A and B are shown apart, each in its own frame.
Chain A
Amino acid sequence: MSAIASSKAVTVTVNGVEYEREVEARKLLIHFVRDDLDLTGSHIGCDTGNCGACSMIVDGQLVKSCMLLAVQADGASIETVEGLAEDGELTALQQSFSDHHALQCGYCTPGMLMSATALLRTNPNPTDEQIKKALQGNICRCTGYWNIFEAVKAVGS
């Protein structure tokens, strides 16, 4: 068992802050960020990479952080939902989510926001189809997506 528990030093920058931690080799990035760095905004909704609740932007790339080991993120620059608002000032997208009632329980919301943020960065004026495709990897069980779509669309256009 001692082989299983082997660990490694990992350095990551999350929302502009650098962290260095000793990490169990088999720990998932999402667990590392939530448990070790105490950034609990990103969530876990599945074991299979289907739900997107754990979505983060890693080195500019949208990823499902349950699909990476923490050690794979060594040296990476990571953005999570906690990094969106500045000084409590919501981004246009966050505000739009609230305005359009695009969240109920709010459990999927951090992942949705990261997916939509990644979309709007690369494609500030997405078509309806592009919005839906961009959200396809994020499951929401409360809203039925209609209001989430509207919230993203309102910011996109």
Chain B
Amino acid sequence: MSDSTTIAPDRVEVQAPQKQWQGQSVPRKEDKRLTQGQGVFVDDIKRHGMGYIHFVRSPYAHAHITSIDVSKAEEIKGVYGTLTGEEVASLTDPFFQLATPPGAHLKDYALALGKVRYVGEAVVAVVAETRELARDASELVEVEYEPLAAVVDARNAQDDGVPVLHDDAGSNMMWESVYEWGDLDAAFAEADRIVKIKELHFHRFNSTPLECDGALVEFNRGTGQWTIHTNNQFPGFAQIMMGPALHCGLDKLRFVTQDIGGGFGNKITSHPQLVACCLLARKLNRPVQWTEWRTDFHLSMSHGNERWFQDTEVAVKNDGTLLGFRTKALDDAGAWLRYEPLGGVIWAQVTPGVYKWRNIRLEFTQVATNKAPCSPNRGYSRMQHLWFTERVIDIVAHELELDPVEVRKRNYIKTEDMPYETPNGCIYDSGDYSRMLDIALELIGWKDAAARKKEAASRGKLLGIGIGSTLDSGTNNFGQSRMINPELQFSGNNEVATVKLDVFGEIVVTLGTTPQGQGHETTAAQVVADILGCSMDDVYVRAGHDSYWNSHAGFSGTYASQFAVTGLSAVKGATDMLAEQIKRLGSVILGGVPVDALELADGTVRIKDNPEAALPFMACGAIINANNAGLPEDLDVTLNCRYVYRPPFEVPDVEKKFGNLTLTYAAQIHAAVVEIDPETGHYEIVDYAAVDDCGIRIHPQIVEGQVMGATAQALGAVVHEAFEYDEDGNLLTPNFYDYHVPHALDMPPLQTGYIESPSPFTPLGTKGMGEGGGAGIHSVCAAVQDAMRGHGDAIVYDSWNPYKRVWEMLQHPEKTRALVEVVDA
């Protein structure tokens, strides 16, 4: 047992203002423009004389670049110019690396320098008058390569004789660490059985937002400032990466966004392309725009982490009580560490999953391969780990002939033990997993499982039922990055909002976030309207993000399940300040009535006992902004309030790898019923239930929409979607032809349920919840395995289960059975 204890954050008194708006599924403010095609997405923005960028990309997975000749392209009329890796290297520093050595030694630039390391890596940028010309001219860029052997299987990446991607690092091992908490020896001594699982594999895919990445960049020569219109979803991170590389202060990098066509984490690491855009805007003295092609996105942008879990051993009692596990996680980072190796610690936010086991050892190794760089993808790094824990539960249950429902219930962390401190010091704030499971089982008709299996069998089908229990840990403590590299100077988290009352009484809200469909304009207005006692329609929330709005902080952005906590807490803080100022002004204007005797209602500040005596917001705005002569000198009221929400975090103990890594823990319990056709391996999801608990729901319909979207992505991932590479490192699924995302006809019947366990640690009782933890992957894997019980008893060992694989598992169950062994302890 670790002897330290994390101090749980102080409980926050959840204030209950008159809640007219919060909790209601009001119409979304965003919808009016978006349903009319009036959104402004990055590719919609144009500037006079702008040039279009096209990237020339590597056709090889691994090769030396022996020569680059751009002269033919540059000769074409209408081509404005080009950029090569050598130019980039002469003008910028490599991006700073989060890793300790050897990963720290990587020299990562905006364009490839000397070598290419994956198919699709950008080598040269060409800028021309039109998109078409830029593309055509790119064909005239001559690049000579000297191909090298490619590393595509992470399991061989460290073998002798395998080519090394980064000579600077000396090997393909990028980062490693051993995590151990509790007393493994005691756990294994106490166990009745040890379940050994040789290898499990979490596959490579990502959320493929429908809009690809892009930017329009302008350079102001007089001030040396770039304006970057982009759909990057984490400008705070992009600035920190780009500023040092470009040798400029962060304020010189102005990030502007309006609408973003989906992000899911995949739009965090576009900083290399943005640097290329910045250099070109300056070099060519004109605005430049880049819109990524779908194929380019698939080839090069933000693949989700592929991970192997090897030599797993689980200590378990005969009754299914889980005592602990050991495993080796081998993570395939792809060719560069763009956000990695943060995945090497992010998983630890959910170290025990939803279970009580206290003794855990995980050896984490991340290697480089000749594949696209990995970066966050919805459920980032926790999804992989939670899939692993769910696989372990089902494999243990089946091998010990126990009921997977019973094993889960026996081992779930109990609601009465919340807030619960995990073995590594994370504090699960609230929840009731057993109750959620009951709801999910009820929704899919679990009671009748036996009868349904029989009925399906009579039709020649194998029916299986599976559960996926997951967490969506939200609001990061960036201090966890110090477990990756103790030198890093990040910790805590923050988000900003400003709320002001303008001359004509207009309430204007600005956010630091970069929404991509989560409805921030709407939910922010709900919170503001409740506090100010006005209509939501009177609250104008500016669309999008602009780092020049002064509502931007170091961690501003929309990622990692945090808006309902960080964003809305900032909104609440700023609005509380404004409400207090309005009252102080009202107190003066209404003749010195004490502030306590005032209330905000109906768009006015008024005397509680005499509502007739009221000052409309419009008058307040006018007085302060335009008619302020004669106000008392000491009246410190601006009606323009900025609040930075800072969640209560301590820096984690880096030595012990111990501390609270996220503030909230939303939970999802999913249940899937599948029917397999044993002749072909084809299966259908015939029933599906998703039960969510994200604390207090500000807008239930938006919450349900997030649950649905996360479910759909997970179902796509488990059945269809994979970034598959051949042995030479060619991506076999570089577009929506080969990479099949679900269509309307693919969707199973879905039922949703919820409970609300308010977070005791957040001002509104909310929890971040957008990522969903991949519960759909876990539940379908479990259901497929369940269906095969008694039909060869294959073990589902991969997170990707296309029909072909299911057919193979049915044909050769022994191959998968060889992965599992149960020994008496």
A110 to B136, CA, bound (A): 30
B interface residues, how many (CB within 8 angstroms): 67
* Contact, CB under 8 Å: B207 / A141: yes
Known interface pairs A50-B736, A84-B36, A148-B744. Does A1 touch B705 (Cβ–Cβ under 8 Å)? no
Contact-residue size bin, chain A (C-beta under 8 Å from the other chain): 35 or more
User: Nearest B residue to A135 by beta-carbon distance?
Assistant: B744
Give the one of B264, B701, B712 with max A CB within 10 A.
B712
Known interface pairs A24-B132, A101-B701, A132-B744. Does A48 touch B750 (Cβ–Cβ under 8 Å)? no
A18 to B27, CA, bound (A): 35
CB within 8 Å of B: which A122-150 residues:
131-133, 135-149
* Contact, CB under 8 Å: B34 / A101: no
* Contact, CB under 8 Å: A50 / B35: no
Which residues on A sit within 8 Å (CB–CB) of B46?
35, 38
Give the one of B36, B262, B708 with max A CB within 10 A.
B36
B611 near A: Cβ within 8 Å? no
* Contact, CB under 8 Å: B737 / A90: no
B210 near A: Cβ within 8 Å? yes
How far does the Cβ of A4 sit from chain B's closest Cβ, in whole Å?
A: 5
Give the one of B31, B264, B712, B737 with max A CB within 10 A.
B31
How far does the Cβ of A146 sit from chain B's closest Cβ, in whole Å?
A: 6
B486 near A: Cβ within 8 Å? no
A85 to B131, CA, bound (A): 31
Give the one of B39, B133, B261, B744 with max A CB within 10 A.
B744
CB within 8 Å of B: which A9-62 residues:
24, 26-27, 31, 34-35, 38-48, 50-51, 53
Contact among B28, B737, B747 for A145, CB-based, below 8 A = B747
A144 to B37, CA, bound (A): 21
* Contact, CB under 8 Å: B34 / A141: no
User: Nearest B residue to A85 by beta-carbon distance?
Assistant: B36
* Contact, CB under 8 Å: B747 / A147: no
Which residues on B sit within 8 Å (CB–CB) of A131?
744
Which residues on B sit within 8 Å (CB–CB) of A147?
705, 708
A65 near B: Cβ within 8 Å? no
* Contact, CB under 8 Å: A143 / B36: no
* Contact, CB under 8 Å: B750 / A47: no
A39 to B27, CA, bound (A): 26
* Contact, CB under 8 Å: B705 / A143: yes
Which residues on B sit within 8 Å (CB–CB) of A90?
32, 35-36
Which residues on A sit within 8 Å (CB–CB) of B25?
101
Which residues on A sit within 8 Å (CB–CB) of B702?
101
Known interface pairs A47-B294, A81-B36, A141-B713. Does A107 touch B43 (Cβ–Cβ under 8 Å)? no
Which residues on A sit within 8 Å (CB–CB) of B711?
144
* Contact, CB under 8 Å: B736 / A106: no
* Contact, CB under 8 Å: B736 / A51: yes
Which residues on B sit within 8 Å (CB–CB) of A109?
34-35
A132 to B744, CA, bound (A): 5
How far does the Cβ of B776 sit from chain A's closest Cβ, in whole Å?
A: 10
* Contact, CB under 8 Å: A81 / B37: yes
How far does the Cβ of A132 sit from chain B's closest Cβ, in whole Å?
A: 4
* Contact, CB under 8 Å: B36 / A34: no
A72 near B: Cβ within 8 Å? no
A-B contacts counted at CB < 8 A amount to: 200
A80 to B36, CA, bound (A): 10
User: Nearest A residue to B736 by beta-carbon distance?
Assistant: A50
Known interface pairs A48-B294, A90-B32, A106-B259. Does A149 touch B41 (Cβ–Cβ under 8 Å)? no
* Contact, CB under 8 Å: A97 / B31: yes
Give the one of B40, B130, B516, B705 with max A CB within 10 A.
B705
A42 to B260, CA, bound (A): 14
CB within 8 Å of A: which B208-255 residues:
208-212
How far does the Cβ of B630 sit from chain A's closest Cβ, in whole Å?
A: 43
A25 to B279, CA, bound (A): 31
User: Nearest B residue to A145 by beta-carbon distance?
Assistant: B744
Give the one of B208, B211, B259, B745 with max A CB within 10 A.
B211
Contact among A39, A41, A103 for B31, CB-based, below 8 A = A103
A38 to B38, CA, bound (A): 11
Give the one of A38, A113, A136, A146 with max B CB within 10 A.
A146
B709 near A: Cβ within 8 Å? yes
User: Nearest B residue to A39 by beta-carbon distance?
Assistant: B37
A143 to B702, CA, bound (A): 10
B505 near A: Cβ within 8 Å? no
* Contact, CB under 8 Å: A136 / B294: no
A133 to B35, CA, bound (A): 21
A98 near B: Cβ within 8 Å? yes
Which residues on A sit within 8 Å (CB–CB) of B210?
43, 45, 51, 53, 105, 107-108, 139-142
Which residues on B sit within 8 Å (CB–CB) of A35?
46, 131
How far does the Cβ of B521 sit from chain A's closest Cβ, in whole Å?
A: 12
How far does the Cβ of B694 sit from chain A's closest Cβ, in whole Å?
A: 16
* Contact, CB under 8 Å: A98 / B35: yes
How far does the Cβ of B518 sit from chain A's closest Cβ, in whole Å?
A: 7
CB within 8 Å of A: which B729-770 residues:
735-737, 741-745, 747, 750
Give the one of B27, B35, B36 with max A CB within 10 A.
B35
A99 to B28, CA, bound (A): 9
CB within 8 Å of A: which B257-289 residues:
259-262, 264
B517 near A: Cβ within 8 Å? yes
Which residues on B sit within 8 Å (CB–CB) of A132?
744-745
A47 to B737, CA, bound (A): 9
* Contact, CB under 8 Å: A133 / B708: no
* Contact, CB under 8 Å: A45 / B709: no
* Contact, CB under 8 Å: B517 / A113: no
How far does the Cβ of B741 sit from chain A's closest Cβ, in whole Å?
A: 6
A147 to B711, CA, bound (A): 13
Which residues on B sit within 8 Å (CB–CB) of A141?
207-210, 262, 264, 709, 713, 741
* Contact, CB under 8 Å: A46 / B736: yes
* Contact, CB under 8 Å: B209 / A105: yes
* Contact, CB under 8 Å: A45 / B294: yes
Q: A136-B743, A144-B711 are in contact. List 10 more A-B contacts (CB 8 A).
A: A4-B133, A27-B132, A40-B43, A50-B736, A98-B35, A99-B27, A104-B262, A105-B34, A143-B705, A143-B708
A to B CB contacts below 8 Å, 6 in the list: A42-B37, A43-B211, A47-B293, A84-B36, A108-B210, A138-B743
